[in-house]
Chains A and B, each alone.
Chain A
Amino acid sequence: MVQKIRYGDYLGLARTRHKAISYNAITSWDASHRRRPHLRSRDIYRLLAPYVGARALEQTRAVLPVVLFLVVFQYLLFQGRIAGGAAILAGVLAVMLGLMLFMEGLKHGFMPLSENIGHLLPVRASYGGVLMVAFILGAVATFAEPAISALKMAGSLADAAQAPVLYLLLNVHADAVVLTVAASVGLAVLVSTLRFIEGWPFKPLVIVVTLPCLALTAYMASDPALAPVVGLAWDTGAITTGPVTVPMVVALGVGVSAAAGRGDNSLSGFGIVTLASLFPPIGVMLLGLHIAASGESLPTAVAAAATLATEPDIPAHILAALRAIVPLVLILWLIQRFWLREPTQHPDFMAYGVALAVAGMVAFYVGLGTGLAPLGMQSGSMLSAILDSRHSLYPAGAGLTIALLFALALGFGATLAEPALNALGLTVQTLTDGAFQKSTLVYAVAIGVGFGTTLGVAKIIFHIPLSWLLIPSYLLALVMTWLAREEHVNLAWDSAGVTTGPVTVPLVLAMGLGLGQATGAQDAFGILAMASIGPIVSVLAVGIGLQARERFLRLDLFGRAR
């Protein structure tokens, strides 16, 4: 006789044993025993591995392409070897680790605070209070910006005889420069907040701010003692808009915008970043004027050797990181706790975030000194070596072409790898309902940065005064701003700030300094400034192109008449 067994019963017998417990029993017991679950080591591994892995991958993707590009380029075209390859590799790894820790710390330590303040401030504080907090937030965030330390490392390279004011600014008054930049960013955030509350359009504001900035640039350029300051001043604009300032300031802006009830323009949350990169040049140029006017003499003992690779001085780095981060968190926390009277939700998460941010910043500083700065310097000096036709591998014209192509590719590639730009592209695509494609924006910005970098390198090679390039480019941008539509204007000017991240800034700055040192340029700043104006022009061009196409299509649909 055939016996029938249900297949499910057979599988049930073959499976892993399990016990059944009534959930009713658990819920009543659980309520009275709130305990931390017991974790085996494999549980901890399972929890942490994906968490760490995803974040490590993110930073690797941001850092590695640029670094690899520089290394491969040096091997292939310059046939040069990287001096101190092991130290540079360690430095680059330290930078990746540092950025990973720092970004995660930022997320848990700062962002909840600044988001809370952005939401609650417009509701609970007075008009003046909002503006004051906006100023403080912008100023203090600048100190915590990792790339700002790249500015200090550049100090030792200024030539005291050729560019006395620049030398004084970078070596004697370095802290004053950073303070000026911080105050300028604070002022920029204040003006932006005012704009959100009052509903000022962005186009006239940009024109009103840019024109005096250009006039000041022209005035500085006419004085040979002051001219070298122009490059530094415009570069600080690109340096300040990094991973700390942008999200914090945007969180505030979005909160204020929402509270003021001005959601009419889809891209109106943008625009703060632009002002935050236009005000610092004005501030630094004014500081330069002030120092020149005070007639301060050069210190007698001029700094000896121009060394960029600072010793990995860990205690000093820890102190610097604490000084950058702790005041920011403290101020944010005090505002939230005692002004807005909002309790901190997860004090332990916040402490963890701050600790991570400090550790990350220390690692970043170490990596900056041992990895990014030497790598950038070497690229710069190799670039100048192939330009020198006497003992170069290439004839003069070819060498120049290669150098400029190198700059183009560097700007283009570094921009494509920038995670912030991809995020911006996605936001823009969503906000414009696909009218402005993500890839369109990313490529427009990358091409703009590429051409900007090329112009910047050409400026150093041919000793062109920066103002000759800067003033016409910005005038062109202003004309295009006049023609373009409001939301495209916001987008174009903001994309300039997004492109210069914490890896690109030190690399490009160091490359410029290395190149400048080798070619005997008066000042080696300005590449970043040119890399900022490039995308403004290119994105505006795309915006105007889109507008023109729209108009053409409309004509086509409704006949010849409008």
Chain B
Amino acid sequence: MKQPHPPEEFIVLTDVVLITCVVQRGMAEEVVEAARQAGAQGATIFYARGTGVRERRLGLLSLAVSPEKEVILIVASTDQADRIFEKMYQAGKLDTPGMGVIYMSPLDKMATHVPKGIVERFAR
């Protein structure tokens, strides 16, 4: 078997954070759109199930909160992160109990396709 030709070098991007947002099933599209308008370049969504602390204390109203959730993952640059975070919080209406949670965590690095022109311009 022929080994695939190894790339001579690859680009690692630094100064990145991960924003994770958990919302009810069907809400993700809106939240991702808000993040995109705030500068996010992509989003990954997956399905999950779960309940939060507050929605269990809602009494009968907790029936209106679907335990089926969507988890949105967005990798953003540190400069944009706070703005994206805030816009997602607003779009997801997370100030209402039971609507979901959002958090941001630091990342060491990320790697993906980086256009050639950008590599030439920024690589040290």
Instruction: Judge whether B65 is part of the interface by a CB distance below 8 angstroms.
Output: yes
Are A348 and B60 closer than 8 Å at their CB atoms? Answer: yes
Are B82 and A15 closer than 8 Å at their CB atoms? Answer: yes
Are B82 and A46 closer than 8 Å at their CB atoms? Answer: no
Are B97 and A348 closer than 8 Å at their CB atoms? Answer: no
Contacts of B64 in A (CB 8 A): 47-48, 50-51
Are A7 and B79 closer than 8 Å at their CB atoms? Answer: yes
Convert B81-124 into 0s and 1s, putting 1 for each residue whose CB lies closer than 8 angstroms to a CB of A. 11100100000010011110000000000000000000000000
Contacts of B66 in A (CB 8 A): 51
Complex Cα–Cα for A452 and B65 (A): 42
Of A33-41, A66-74, A359-367, the one touching chain B: A33-41
How close is B26's CB to chain A, nearest CB, in angstroms? Answer: 7
Instruction: Judge whether A8 is part of the interface by a CB distance below 8 angstroms.
Output: yes
Instruction: Judge whether A482 is part of the interface by a CB distance below 8 angstroms.
Output: no
Are A43 and B59 closer than 8 Å at their CB atoms? Answer: no
Select from chain A the residue with minimum beta-carbon distance to B38.
A11
Convert B48-71 into 0s and 1s, putting 1 for each residue whose CB lies closer than 8 angstroms to a CB of A. 000001100111110111100000
Instruction: Judge whether B14 is part of the interface by a CB distance below 8 angstroms.
Output: no
Select from chain B the residue with minimum beta-carbon distance to A104.
B63
Contacts of A35 in B (CB 8 A): 57
Place the interface of chain B in its size category.
Answer: 20 to 34
Given contacts A30-B53, A46-B99, contact A16 B86 (CB under 8 A): yes
Taking CB atoms and an 8 Å cut-off, the chain A residues in 21-67 that contact chain B are 30, 34-37, 39, 42-44, 46-48, 50-51, 54
Given contacts A37-B97, A46-B99, contact A8 B60 (CB under 8 A): no
Select from chain A the residue with minimum beta-carbon distance to B93.
A46
Are B60 and A42 closer than 8 Å at their CB atoms? Answer: no
Work out how many contacts link A and B, with CB atoms closer than 8 A: 62
Instruction: Judge whether B20 is part of the interface by a CB distance below 8 angstroms.
Output: no
Are A348 and B59 closer than 8 Å at their CB atoms? Answer: yes
Select from chain A the residue with minimum beta-carbon distance to B98.
A47
Convert A443-479 into 0s and 1s, putting 1 for each residue whose CB lies closer than 8 angstroms to a CB of B. 0000000000000000000000000000000000000
Majority DSSP secondary structure for residues of A touching B: helix
Contacts of B78 in A (CB 8 A): 8
Instruction: Judge whether B44 is part of the interface by a CB distance below 8 angstroms.
Output: no
Complex Cα–Cα for A51 and B78 (A): 36
Are B79 and A11 closer than 8 Å at their CB atoms? Answer: yes
Contacts of A37 in B (CB 8 A): 54, 57-58, 97
Contacts of B57 in A (CB 8 A): 34-37
Contacts of B99 in A (CB 8 A): 46-47
Are B82 and A42 closer than 8 Å at their CB atoms? Answer: no
Convert B8-33 into 0s and 1s, putting 1 for each residue whose CB lies closer than 8 angstroms to a CB of A. 00000000000000001011000000
Instruction: Judge whether A295 is part of the interface by a CB distance below 8 angstroms.
Output: no
Instruction: Judge whether B80 is part of the interface by a CB distance below 8 angstroms.
Output: yes
Are B26 and A15 closer than 8 Å at their CB atoms? Answer: no
Complex Cα–Cα for A15 and B83 (A): 7
Are A108 and B63 closer than 8 Å at their CB atoms? Answer: yes
Are A8 and B81 closer than 8 Å at their CB atoms? Answer: yes
Select from chain B the residue with minimum beta-carbon distance to A107.
B63
Are A349 and B96 closer than 8 Å at their CB atoms? Answer: no
Select from chain B the residue with minimum beta-carbon distance to A15.
B86
Complex Cα–Cα for A8 and B26 (A): 31
How close is B105's CB to chain A, nearest CB, in angstroms? Answer: 14
Q: Which one of B59, B80, B86 contacts A8 once the chains associate, using CB atoms below 8 Å? A: B80
Complex Cα–Cα for A48 and B60 (A): 11
How close is A49's CB to chain B, nearest CB, in angstroms? Answer: 9
Contacts of A348 in B (CB 8 A): 59-60
Are B82 and A43 closer than 8 Å at their CB atoms? Answer: no
Q: Which one of B24, B59, B82 contacts A36 once the chains associate, using CB atoms below 8 Å? A: B59
How close is A116's CB to chain B, nearest CB, in angstroms? Answer: 18
Given contact pairs A39-B61, A47-B64, A51-B63, a sample of 18 additional A-B residue pairs in the complex whose CB atoms are under 8 Å apart: A8-B78, A8-B79, A8-B80, A11-B80, A30-B53, A34-B57, A36-B57, A36-B59, A39-B96, A44-B61, A46-B93, A47-B98, A50-B24, A50-B26, A50-B27, A348-B59, A348-B60, A352-B63
Q: List 15 A-B contacts (CB under 8 A).
A: A6-B79, A8-B80, A11-B80, A15-B83, A37-B57, A39-B58, A39-B97, A44-B61, A46-B93, A46-B96, A47-B98, A50-B24, A51-B66, A54-B26, A348-B60
**Closest 8 pairs between A and B when the two form their complex, measured CB to CB:** A8-B79, A51-B64, A43-B96, A37-B97, A47-B64, A7-B79, A46-B96, A11-B83
User: Chain B interface (Cβ within 8 Å of chain A)?
Assistant: 24, 26-27, 53-54, 57-61, 63-66, 78-83, 86, 93, 96-99
